[in-house]
Amino acid sequence: MTFIAPFDNSYAALPDGFFTRINPTPVAAPQVLAFNARLAKTLGIRHADPDDIALALSGNALPDGAAPLAQLYAGHQFGNYNPQLGDGRAILLGEVVDTGGIRRDIQLKGSGRTPYSRGGDGRAWLGPVLREYVVSEAMHALGIPTTRALAAVRSGEDVYRETALPGAVLTRVATSHLRVGTFQVFAHRGELENLQTLTDYAIARHYPQAEGAMGLLRAVCARQADLIAAWMSVGFIHGVMNTDNCAISGETIDYGPCAFMDAFHANRVFSSIDRQGRYAFSNQPQIAVWNMAQLATALIQLSGDKDAAIEQATQIVHAMPALIEAAWLKRFGAKIGIVDAQPEDTALIEDLLGLMQKDGADFTNAFRSLGRDHAVDEFLDSEAFEAWHARWQARIGTETDVDRTMNAANPAIIPRNHRIEQMIEAAVAGDMAPFERLMKALATPYDSTDQDLHRPPSEREIVPATFCGT
């Protein structure tokens, strides 16, 4: 094995109750579909023989220094507490400290059963693996905190969902896989020593400035607030914001039934299992606050003076909607060319979104076209748009560098659902060209010139729902 990663594992040194040591289950015939060489380089990964990428990142051979384990966590799924989840189909190989000095997890997903698999097979199929690869890397290129994709390896085995589908393993890279649910599992079990150890670990790893559990809570709330505003600014719907899919680091994690909106609607839902619209586009701020309340509930357990801790935690969580609003205003202000938008600009932004919703305008293209002659073409009610446009022009009269501000806030391209579906269909048939094309265009989303990929879906191409794909 010539696959070398400079492993430096800290999670594996935590107490036994945090995880189960387990090796990946080998697959039949690993074949690399995608390898993120640039990311690998920043992680200090080297390999002499390309075949060793397939071996290492399918789980068929363990690189030196790996300490494979499945992490324990719990979580609220659609509001209901599940006392035990954990990595059911993921295995942490270990951590490396990257060239920027940041510690990163290297995790295989789809690498076989673990003690936390419950009824699952521990596997993933090619579709969601490539979806996560494309969307997480697109998110990164958009400048939004996210886990990264290092590799997608076809397994040479079928997995069985409704039908037989080609299996695959994703290698995911994250600044950690600590979730709200990691705190919940120890809090609910009353394992306060483990909860304290986890809190200390999370602070040291992510928020060294934070003071104590409440300092950690405050820091996580701030990151989550920024993250939600960032998602909304690009029309992203996470789709399954359960507390086990909410990372303490503030990175976007778990690209299951997520989607970027084409036509704007505030209540848009894609996930086929989200029947009540709990995780609809415009519910995301509220849900993020709810998730932080669950983190607060767990962290309060650590305090000797419960009443004081409850009061402090309540104040921190109650401050979060205002943080999200401020971050939202900053981002959406930039989308209409205002560098430092003020609360009185909210109506201007909301009114534009209202027009988009009424006309079913394409969120990405309508914003991207705003400063251009053809902007009105994105709207059906041209009169209403022209009226808004006049108000907007009056407002931005005093702004400088409007075009630059807008171009940096309004991507030309997002990973559209129909393109992802087309890419997956081709990949299943062995054709990776659509994947390569998408990845190339999405790498520079604010400068993309691949016009055909900027186009919203035709009626025939619309993907009305996404599936968890587990």
Residues annotated as catalytic are 244
Cβ–Cβ contacts within 10 Å for residue 399, how many? 16
- Nearest-approach distance from CB 86 to ligand AMP, in angstroms: 5
Beta bridge partners of residue 76, listed in sequence order: 81
Residue 266 contacts which entry, Mg ion, ligand AMP, none (Cβ below 5-8 A, type-dependent): none
Residue 410 contacts which entry, Mg ion, ligand AMP, none (Cβ below 5-8 A, type-dependent): none
Q: Which is nearer to ligand AMP, 85 or 96 (CB)?
A: 85
Residue 226 contacts which entry, Mg ion, ligand AMP, none (Cβ below 5-8 A, type-dependent): none
What does the binding site for ligand AMP look like in residue numbers (CB under 6 A)? Answer: 85-89, 116-117, 120-123, 240, 244-245, 254, 256, 468, 470
DSSP secondary structure letter of residue 122: S
Residue 105 contacts which entry, ligand AMP, Mg ion, none (Cβ below 5-8 A, type-dependent): none
Q: Which is nearer to Mg ion, 178 or 353 (CB)?
A: 178
Give the containing element (helix H, strand E) for 20: strand 19-21
C-alpha 344/C-alpha 334 separation (Å) is 14
Q: Which residue has the tokens 């920024």?
A: 226
- Nearest-approach distance from CB 211 to ligand AMP, in angstroms: 31
132 binds Mg ion (CB under 5 A): no
- Nearest-approach distance from CB 462 to ligand AMP, in angstroms: 25
Interaction residues for Mg ion, span 236-275 (CB under 5 A): 245, 254
Interaction residues for Mg ion, span 138-197 (CB under 5 A): none
Q: Which is nearer to Mg ion, 245 or 284 (CB)?
A: 245
Residues in contact with Mg ion, counted by CB under 5 A, come to a total of: 2
Q: Which is nearer to ligand AMP, 14 or 468 (CB)?
A: 468
316 vs 136, 181, 201, 298, 306, CA distance in Å?
30, 19, 21, 14, 15
Q: Are 125 and 106 in contact (CB under 8 A)?
A: no
Residue 256 contacts which entry, Mg ion, ligand AMP, none (Cβ below 5-8 A, type-dependent): ligand AMP
Residue 223 contacts which entry, Mg ion, ligand AMP, none (Cβ below 5-8 A, type-dependent): none
Q: Which is nearer to Mg ion, 139 or 338 (CB)?
A: 139
User: 252: Cβ–Cβ under 8 A, 6 or more apart, which residues?
Assistant: 136, 139, 144, 145, 146, 147, 227, 231, 238
Q: What are phi and psi of 185, to 5 degrees?
A: -60, -40
Tokens representing 169 are: 């393993």
- Judge residue 420's burial from the number of C-beta atoms within 10 Å of its C-beta, 0-12 exposed, 13-18 middle, 19 or more buried: buried
- Nearest-approach distance from CB 336 to ligand AMP, in angstroms: 35
Q: Which is nearer to Mg ion, 252 or 283 (CB)?
A: 252
Q: Are 453 and 437 in contact (CB under 8 A)?
A: yes
- Nearest-approach distance from CB 117 to ligand AMP, in angstroms: 4
Q: Which is nearer to ligand AMP, 170 or 334 (CB)?
A: 170
- Cβ-closest residue to Mg ion? 254
Task: Extract the runs of DSSP E, i.e. beta strands, from 62-194.
Answer: 69-71, 75-77, 80-82, 90-97, 103-109, 124-125, 148-160, 164-174
Tokens representing 165 are: 């589908």
User: 226: Cβ–Cβ under 8 A, 6 or more apart, which residues?
Assistant: 145, 250, 323, 327
User: 187: Cβ–Cβ under 8 A, 6 or more apart, which residues?
Assistant: 195, 297, 298, 299, 301
- Nearest-approach distance from CB 134 to Mg ion, in angstroms: 18
- Nearest-approach distance from CB 118 to ligand AMP, in angstroms: 6
Q: Are 426 and 438 in contact (CB under 8 A)?
A: no
Q: Which of 451, 363, 423 is nearest to 132 (CA)?
A: 423
Residue 203 contacts which entry, Mg ion, ligand AMP, none (Cβ below 5-8 A, type-dependent): none
- Cβ-closest residue to ligand AMP? 120
Give contact residues for Mg ion (rule: CB under 5 A): 245, 254
